[in-house]
């Protein structure tokens, strides 16, 4: 019996267990339980309480052999002892006894050759909607003789006691690769489940010769695919949702010998300042079956996407088929183009630049973008931030493992690589203006079609990246950032400061080849 699976986890006495409910059934349950309300478009709107984003300081990996020898331990991958894990695990299982539970069974990975069977056990019905929409849903018959490879258990109502349990707070995200389980408590933010699943894939897939990537992907009618790497707020989801191309996925993919494939069956888009003119696909996806987190509703349940009073990190999760031009296979051939996105708040980097293979590796390892004033406590002015391979919080293995795999694939398949800045022009944040989204879309289009290669390129004197002098539909003066600054000396100073940040960051990363370091900025 399926219930035996739950009892085997340690839940000795089961309450009502809801197995693989449909979305309408789960929405009904969520409303009855008072977990959320419907918006004017039919989306379920919920509030996540104290935690409105991921809590990286509360994530731990169990220090257990032989897996501990492979983990890149440090500030990101923090260890927790087996004893402490088992104590919290036992208390969590006792907490779940006789409670109503919602169980999803499905997959991670659209390529059957590499997919992972995932079971998710939820305390909240709306969380179960989220995972059903975000992960790969089973086809009829695929759950026959189903055996999970990994289990995620999420119970926000169970809070840790830091003094007793050895956690940093009441919230915890604990990953055991030996027991093949992730347990989450104390936080209702659904993104913890999504990113825990990503961490699982980032550990397992390199062993199968597959590069896991924090990127979005799309493909044209001729089968030419593209990857978009970038941290939160750089435009990964927005730019990959292109009405002229089919969406493969918006956040997590693998690159195998077969090509690329989506890890997920859904999208998790930021909604702050969402605009139907600029982001019509995402706007149209917010309907019945979608789940909105921390979006403020006005009269009549109308969402106010400009309201950041709760958090800047307002989100919506929905199945990928809510995007009208999505490729539901979730798969495509080897990418012709790889784009690294950054939101440079210092106004230094050009809107587009071409990268050599060595520069591509340098910028992949760097994973640069900016944090803005007001988005996190303590940040009063723009701050350079670096996330190795554009996904450091989710990489259990050393960064070089992922970087080398990307370099090998770019070389093997002749992928063209570009750096695209979706940040500021004409000065830093507070002085200049954010680069127009229509201009960015035009530059992306030129990169994807190869049109940009017809332009003349000039090397940036500090960063060494190659900048085009023209692109039809984009004012030539904005292509060279210094031209947009009134104070040219101030630009030079800002560029040197940013270059120094790159160099200092790279010097902190061990094992980077000299030829890759040499491809970075020079001051």
- DSSP output for 488-508: HHHHHHHHHHHHHHHHHHHHT
Q: Which of 315, 334, 354, 409 is catalytic?
A: 315
Q: How many CB atoms lie within 10 A of CB 510?
A: 8
Concerning whether 195 is annotated as a catalytic residue, the answer is yes
> What is the pLDDT at residue 371?
76
| Lowest-pLDDT range of 299-303, 376-380, 470-474 | 376-380
Judged against a pLDDT cut of 90, whether residue 360 lies above it is answered with yes
Look up 81 and say whether it is catalytic: no
End-to-end, the C-alpha distance of the chain in Å comes to 66
Q: Sorting pLDDT into bands at 50, 70 and 90, what band is 381?
A: low
Q: What is the model's pLDDT at position 82?
A: 98
Amino acid 202: pLDDT: 98
Does position 399 have pLDDT exceeding 50, yes or no?
A: yes
289/104 Cα distance (integer angstroms): 15
| Model confidence band, residue 372 (pLDDT cutoffs 50, 70, 90) | low
CB neighbourhood size of 225 (10 A): 25
- Please check the confidence at residue 156 and state whether its pLDDT lies above 80: yes
- What local confidence, expressed as pLDDT, does residue 376 receive? 47
Q: Does residue 199 have an active-site annotation?
A: no
374 band by pLDDT with thresholds 50, 70 and 90: very low
434-443 mean pLDDT = 96
323-334 pLDDT, tens digit each: 988 999 999 999
315 noted as active-site residue: yes
* pLDDT beyond 80 at 69: yes
Of 5, 54, 132, 354, which one is the catalytic site residue?
A: 54
Determine the average pLDDT of the residues in 134-147.
96
Asked if residue 513 has pLDDT above 90, the reply is no
Burial of 330 (0-12, 13-18, 19+ CB in 10 A): buried
What SS3 state is found at 130? helix
User: Looking at 187, 196, 232, 366, which residue is catalytic?
Assistant: 232
Q: Which domains does the chain have, with CATH numbers?
A: 2-35+55-208 (3.40.449.10), 336-517 (3.90.228.20)
Residue 290 — pLDDT band, cuts 50, 70, 90?
very high
Q: Which of 141-150, 246-255, 382-391, 447-456 has the lowest mean pLDDT?
A: 382-391
Pairs from 435-442 (Cβ < 8 Å, separation ≥ 24): 435/351, 435/478, 437/235, 437/238, 437/278, 438/278, 439/351, 439/473, 439/474, 439/475, 439/478, 440/235, 440/239, 440/351, 441/239, 441/242, 442/471, 442/472, 442/473, 442/474
Kindly name the residue from 251, 327, 344, 460 that is annotated as catalytic.
251
Q: What is the pLDDT of residue 378?
A: 47
Decide if pLDDT at 346 tops 50: yes
- Report how far Cα 5 is from the mean position of its chain's Cα atoms: 30
Torsion of CA 21, 25, 27, 28, to 10 degrees: -140
Q: Is the pLDDT of residue 87 over 80?
A: yes
Residue 400 confidence (pLDDT): 86
Query: Among residues 52, 55, 188, 237, which one is catalytic?
Result: 237
Least confident of 40-49, 346-355, 394-403, 461-470: 394-403
Average pLDDT over residues 213-220: 96
Question: How far apart are the C-alpha atoms of 263 and 331, rounded to whole Å?
Answer: 10
Catalytic residue among 236, 245, 331, 371: 236
What radius of gyration do the chain's Cα atoms show?
Answer: 23
Q: Which candidate in 127, 132, 194, 195 is catalytic?
A: 195
The secondary structure element, H or E, covering residue 85 is helix 82-96
User: Would you call 504 a catalytic residue per the annotation?
Assistant: no
Q: Mean pLDDT score of the chain, rounded to an integer?
A: 95
Q: Work out the average pLDDT over 52-60.
A: 95
The residue annotated as part of the active site, out of 110, 214, 245, 336, is 214
Residue whose pair of structure tokens reads 């478009």 in the numeric block: 41
User: Is residue 237 annotated as part of the catalytic site, yes or no?
Assistant: yes
- Our answer to whether residue 416 is catalytic in this structure is no
Lowest mean pLDDT among 110-114, 308-312, 507-511: 507-511
């Amino acid at each position: 019996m399926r219930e035996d699976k739950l009892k085997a986890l340690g839940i000795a006495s089961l309450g009502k267990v809801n197995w693989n409910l449909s979305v309408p059934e789960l929405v009904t349950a969520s409303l009855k339980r008072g977990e959320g309300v419907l918006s004017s478009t039919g989306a379920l709107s919920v509030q996540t309480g104290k935690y409105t984003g991921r809590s990286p300081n509360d994530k731990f990996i169990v220090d257990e052999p032989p897996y501990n020898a492979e983990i890149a331990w440090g500030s990101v991958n923090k260890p927790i002892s087996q004893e402490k894990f088992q104590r919290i695990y036992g208390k969590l299982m006792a907490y779940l006894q006789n409670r109503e539970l919602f169980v999803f069974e499905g997959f991670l990975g659209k390529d059957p050759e590499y997919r992972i069977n995932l079971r998710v056990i939820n305390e909240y019905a709306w969380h179960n909607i989220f995972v059903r929409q975000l992960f790969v849903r089973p086809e009829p018959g695929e759950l026959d003789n189903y055996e999970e490879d990994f289990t995620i258990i999420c119970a926000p109502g169970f809070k840790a006691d830091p003094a007793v349990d050895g956690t940093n707070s009441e919230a915890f995200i604990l990953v055991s690769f030996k027991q093949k389980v992730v347990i989450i408590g104390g936080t209702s933010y659904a993104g913890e489940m999504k990113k825990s699943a990503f961490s699982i894939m980032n550990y397992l897939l390199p062993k199968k010769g597959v590069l896991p990537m924090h990127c979005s992907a799309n493909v044209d009618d001729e089968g030419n695919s593209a990857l978009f790497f970038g941290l939160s707020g750089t435009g990964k989801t927005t730019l990959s949702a292109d009405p002229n191309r089919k969406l493969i996925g918006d956040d997590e993919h693998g690159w195998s010998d077969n090509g690329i494939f989506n890890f997920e069956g859904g999208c998790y888009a930021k909604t702050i300042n969402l605009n139907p003119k600029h982001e019509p696909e995402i706007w149209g996806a917010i309907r019945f079956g979608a789940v909105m987190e921390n979006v403020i509703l006005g009269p009549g349940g109308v969402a106010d996407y400009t309201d950041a009073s709760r958090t800047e990190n307002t989100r919506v999760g929905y199945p990928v088929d809510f995007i009208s031009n999505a490729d539901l296979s979730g798969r495509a051939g080897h990418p012709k183009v790889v784009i690294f996105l950054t939101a440079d708040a210092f106004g230094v980097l050009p809107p587009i630049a071409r990268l050599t293979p060595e520069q591509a590796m340098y910028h992949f390892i760097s994973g640069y973008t900016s944090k803005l004033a007001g988005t996190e406590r303590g940040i009063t002015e723009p701050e350079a931030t670096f996330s190795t391979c554009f996904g450091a919080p989710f990489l259990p293995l050393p960064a070089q493992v992922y970087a080398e795999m990307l370099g090998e694939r770019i070389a093997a398949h002749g992928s063209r690589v570009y750096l695209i800045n979706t940040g500021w022009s004409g000065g830093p944040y507070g002085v200049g203006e954010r680069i127009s989204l229509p201009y960015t879309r035009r530059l992306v289009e030129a990169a994807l079609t190869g049109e940009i290669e017809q332009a003349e390129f000039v090397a940036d004197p500090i960063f060494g990246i190659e900048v085009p002098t023209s692109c039809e539909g984009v004012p030539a003066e904005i292509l060279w950032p210094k031209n947009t600054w009134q104070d040219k000396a101030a630009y030079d100073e800002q560029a040197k400061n940013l270059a120094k940040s790159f160099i200092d960051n790279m010097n902190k990363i061990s094992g980077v080849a000299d030829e890759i370091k040499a491809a970075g900025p020079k001051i």
